[in-house]
Amino acid sequence: MSQQRGRRFASAPKRIVAVCDLDGTLIDSDSALVDAFVALGIDREEITFGHVLADECVRLGLSVGNYVAAYDTTQALPFAGVTELLASLDRWAVCSNKHPVSGGAELERLQWFPEVALFADAFRGPKQLTPLLEMLEITADQAIFLGDTAHDRQCAMEAGVRFVLAGWNPRAEAQPGDLVMSHPLELLELLGE
Return residues touching Mg ion (CB under 5 A).
Answer: 21, 23-24, 148
Smaller CB separation from Mg ion, 15 or 128: 128
CB of 138 to Mg ion, least distance (A): 22
Smaller CB separation from Mg ion, 28 or 115: 28
Smaller CB separation from Mg ion, 91 or 127: 127
CB of 95 to Mg ion, least distance (A): 10
Q: Are 99 and 64 in contact (CB under 8 A)?
A: yes
CB of 14 to Mg ion, least distance (A): 27
> Rounded CA gap, 138 and 55, in Å?
30
Smaller CB separation from Mg ion, 9 or 49: 49
From 100, 133, 141, select the one nearest 116 (Cα to Cα): 133
Burial class (CB in 10 A: 0-12, 13-18, 19+), 170: exposed
CB of 177 to Mg ion, least distance (A): 19
Q: 34-51 burial, b if ≥16 CB within 10 A, otherwise e?
A: eebbeebebeeeebebbb
